[in-house]
Structure 1
Amino acid sequence: MTNAHPSEPRHPWLGLAGWWLLSFAAAAIGAAASLQARAFYAQLVQPSWAPPAAVFGPVWTLLYALMGLAAWCVWRAGGWNRRRGALGLFVAQLAVNAAWSWLFFGWQLGGWAFVDIAVLWLLLLATVLAFWRVRPVAGALLLPYLGWVSFAAALNWRVWQLNPTVLG
């Protein structure tokens, strides 16, 4: 006999590992496009408010950890079958997130990267709202990510405008 609530998945800690694995897999896909990002980023004209390249890794590591934790909280409230809509939004925004690094760093397409981050922002906002309805703490865990993506969108726009020949 198990002590789990009938609507909760049976192996919650394996679930947490799975959601973190998925989140960090998206991070790894983006990181693969960013192997030369530090040198590329350093050659770009940047606004005075742009953070140093060394800030991005630690911030994104924390954000991906929070993303996986948030998804796990929602997943625990009924599993994939009951939370398909919210978790589907989560997976969709992860895919769009991973694509951004390829667009900006890998293929140096600043305009398309901006379109991608705008779509990411909308998907992320929908995910925050969907998660909040299931478990407010899950939505709250995504708020730093939403804030960072908002900042990153502004930075993407400005860097693209300052570097039209490099970022097409």
Structure 2
Amino acid sequence: MPGAVAAVAASFTAAVGATITDIGPWYQALVQPDWAPPIWLFGPAWTIIFMLCTFSGTTAWLAARNSDAADTIIGLFALNGFLNLLWSFLFFRMHRPDLAVLEVGVLWSSIAALMVVSWRISRPAAVLLLPYLLWVSFAAMLNRAIVELNSPF
């Protein structure tokens, strides 16, 4: 049951994020740094990350020793999903990469918090989040570069 709930939650977050993300004329007109990955890479990368988050959440939830620990994991994943969607909304819908670059620090911190709490419950669950933390670190650098190359917003 926890796996199904985690899969539905991750799928919902991914689907909402996909509807918020508009790789249309505005995004395509942005000056990108030379090291920016091709647009097609983002879909597969996020698919893998959401799968790993599903496995991590399920692993931590099943390993939780009591309902308080399980509730903490669920709450942190819910907060993280909200922050993930907020970043997409700021960047792609509001066309405010400058605000998104500030918010990505909060998103990154929520992943770090998930890893710390998960580590106490299940080390494999925490390790499964490492690619997410690394990808968001890279995305933060890319977001910052886009702001520097395209300001003001």
Task: Give TM-score, length-normalised by structure 1.
Answer: 0.85
For the residues of structure 1 that align with 2:67 and 2:149, how far apart are their CA atoms? Answer: 43
Query: Match of 2:136?
Result: 149
Pairing of 1:120-139 with structure 2 (within 5 A): 120-139=107-126
Task: Give 5+ residue unaligned stretches, structure 1.
Answer: 1-13
Instruction: Pick the structure with greater CA Rg.
Output: 1
In the superposition, relative to structure 1, how do residues 57 and 82 fare at CA in structure 2: closer, same or farther (>3 Å)? same
For the residues of structure 1 that align with 2:41 and 2:57, how far apart are their CA atoms? Answer: 25
- Superposed CA deviations along residues 127-150 of structure 1, whole A, max 9, x for unmatched, are 111111100000000000000000
Pairing of 1:23-62 with structure 2 (within 5 A): 23-34=10-21, 36-62=22-48
- Superposed CA deviations along residues 110-134 of structure 1, whole A, max 9, x for unmatched, are 1111111110001110111111110
In the superposition, relative to structure 1, how do residues 80 and 108 fare at CA in structure 2: closer, same or farther (>3 Å)? farther
Q: Percent identity?
A: 36
Q: Secondary structure at the match of 1:37?
A: coil
For the residues of structure 2 that align with 1:44 and 1:133, how far apart are their CA atoms? Answer: 42
For the residues of structure 1 that align with 2:24 and 2:134, how far apart are their CA atoms? Answer: 22
What RMSD over aligned residues (CA atoms) do the two structures have, in Å? 1.4
- Superposed CA deviations along residues 51-96 of structure 1, whole A, max 9, x for unmatched, are 0100000000000010011000111123654322233112111110
- Matched length: 152
Query: Match of 2:83?
Result: 96
Query: Match of 2:50?
Result: 64
Runs of 4+ in 1 over 4 A off after TM superposition: none
Task: Give TM-score, length-normalised by structure 2.
Answer: 0.93
Task: Give 5+ residue unaligned stretches, structure 2.
Answer: none
Is 1:66–1:142's contact at 8 Å kept on the other side of the alignment?
yes
Instruction: Specify the code of the residue in structure 2 equivalent to 1:144.
Output: P
**Structure with a larger share of its residues in helix:** 2
